[in-house]
Structure 1
């Protein structure tokens, strides 16, 4: 199944991530073969997954966002034995490990907020812990543009600013300033 997942990502690199039933219905009509399920609870997740599978799509459940599932390994077992899901997404390494042991596709999600989180992401990716990684934010400069358009006070971009190009891009996107722990950036 993992190879089918990788092929689906290559064939259509836009993954539909759904956060409600309306989004689910729209996602089921797209060309995307992979659906990230970001909503539900323990009473309806099997039905949500069933709808995805009926359209012959790959169903990946974000277990951290399913109401009634905890942050323990049992969440992966619940998804494996109570749904037809192909895999899980989680920010928690213990759940990723449990799901991988169960033969589920694993997507480890990371939120990049600063250089420390980047170091952790690099560590996990180098370990080969999950089948794939999802890194957020994916379009920081677009977000800066959007936020600067509505901000009524200076907007400072920080986190993951690592070189002159990053500084210029952040400022060009509308940030008033950047912040960084990188002393090399301080001297620009």
Structure 2
């Protein structure tokens, strides 16, 4: 909590990416971009994630693994309408193109060749 407030007030970042629900609200109050990270492991995680997003109303959502993002968009996105970032388990450019075609706004990857 204090770390997010410090970073915002010292203008050391533009936003945060976090799984922690309470930090989304703090970041938004401090004027930062707030991206909610969700791990979609099963249908229960999808349902919980939907509730979290409705409550927190982040600026965007990052779905992990990235290959689950199209499923999320198909089943949840229409009600939330926040940008979707796909992260994790993305290994080539063809996967990225497919994700963009399915409605993903951006990709998060550590594979430098895909940057």
Q: Output the TM-score relative to the length of structure 1.
A: 0.45
Post-superposition Cα deviations, 1:107-158, rounded to whole Å, max 9, x if no partner, equal 1124444xxx432222222x151122223224x7xxxxxxxxxxxxxxxxxx
> How far is the alpha carbon of 1:23 from its aligned partner?
5.9
Structure with the bigger RCO (C-alpha within 8 Å, sep 6+) is 2
> 1:98 and 1:76, CA in 2 relative to 1: closer, same or farther beyond 3 A?
farther
Aligned-residue RMSD, C-alpha:
3.1
Which runs of no fewer than 5 residues in structure 2 stay unpaired?
A: none
Which of 25, 29, 50 does residue 77 from structure 1 map onto?
50
1:85 aligns to what SS in structure 2? coil
Residues 71 and 95, structure 1, Cα contact 8 Å, conserved in 2: no
CA–CA separation in structure 2 for the residues paired with 1:106 and 1:97: 12
Equivalenced residues, count: 106
Which runs of no fewer than 5 residues in structure 1 stay unpaired?
A: 1-20, 141-159, 161-188
Residues 99 and 105, structure 1, Cα contact 8 Å, conserved in 2: no
2:39 aligns to what SS in structure 1? helix
> How far is the alpha carbon of 1:31 from its aligned partner?
4.5
- Whose helix proportion is higher, 1 or 2? 2
Q: Which residue of 2 aligns with 1:56?
A: 31
> How far is the alpha carbon of 1:22 from its aligned partner?
7.3
Residues 89 and 96, structure 1, Cα contact 8 Å, conserved in 2: no
> How far is the alpha carbon of 1:58 from its aligned partner?
1.6
Q: Output the TM-score relative to the length of structure 2.
A: 0.66
> 1:70 and 1:86, CA in 2 relative to 1: closer, same or farther beyond 3 A?
farther
> 1:105 and 1:122, CA in 2 relative to 1: closer, same or farther beyond 3 A?
closer
